[in-house]
Amino acid sequence: MWRAGMAQEIGRALSTVREQVQHAAARRAESLPSVQPRLVAVSKTKPADMVIEAYSHGQRVFGENYVQELVEKASDANILSSCPEIKWHFIGHLQKHSINKLIAVPNLHILETIDSVKLADKVNSSWQKKGSPEKLKVMVQVNTSSEESKHGLPPSGTVELVKHIREKCPSLEFVGLMTIGSFGHDLTQGPNPDFQVSRL
């Protein structure tokens, strides 16, 4: 539940996380590309007031897992008026019957969970019908940990799907891969292999 004292907590938490991200980026091997990390604040189950507060502390990119919750937040009058530069990422599993609802979301910036040719084709078609002058940015979700509880295509199907999006989906812009690594990897043993797979 939102309470007034949380405003300072949100500001402090964002500041702490940004520092941690910058420290991690500074430790990156010099052989890796120097890409500025982007913090996506996952706002699922959080009220509009918390989104607005995080926005007031400089956060611009927010991620939502469920289409209906994203539709409600992105259409909230207070968010629309207080957060003109907000960018929404859809980070949950997308079912085909929800595509049109998702495409209608104001300030939809990236769809991170394309995991099949059929889904890519349907999203491409829906985005074309919307008539937006810009392509919709999409990421391909890869299940690098091979966990049954996670969505995403197997690594072996990644190249084929990326090629399909780039060659057969003119309204979509492929911007990268998304994966969720297995939880609890001991970093003293080296980088999480689930993330290493996505680099190959």
- 75-94 residue pLDDT tens: 999 999 999 999 999 999 99
pLDDT (0 to 100) of residue 147: 66
Q: How far apart are the first and last CA of the chain?
A: 43
* SS (HEC) of the chain: CCCCCHHHHHHHHHHHHHHHHHHHHHCCCCCCCCCCCCCCEECCCCCHHHHHHHHHCCCCEEEECCHHHHHHHHCCHHHHHHCCCCEEEECCCCCHHHHHHHHCCCCEEEEEEECCHHHHHHHHHHHHHHCCCCCEEEEEEECCCCCCCCCCECHHHHHHHHHHHHHHCCCEEEEEEECCCCCCCCHHHCCCHHHHHCCC
pLDDT score of 113: 95
Does residue 177 contact residue 158 with C-beta atoms inside 8 Å? Answer: yes
pTM: 0.86
Cα 67 to chain centroid distance, Å, stands at 13
Report pLDDT digits (tens) over 1-19.
445 567 778 999 999 999 9
Encoded amino acid at 70, one letter: L
Q: 57-61, 109-113, 184-188: which has the minimum mean pLDDT? A: 184-188
User: In terms of Cα–Cα distance, which of 157, 156, 153, 167 is closest to 93?
Assistant: 153
Comparing 23 with 143, the larger pLDDT belongs to 23
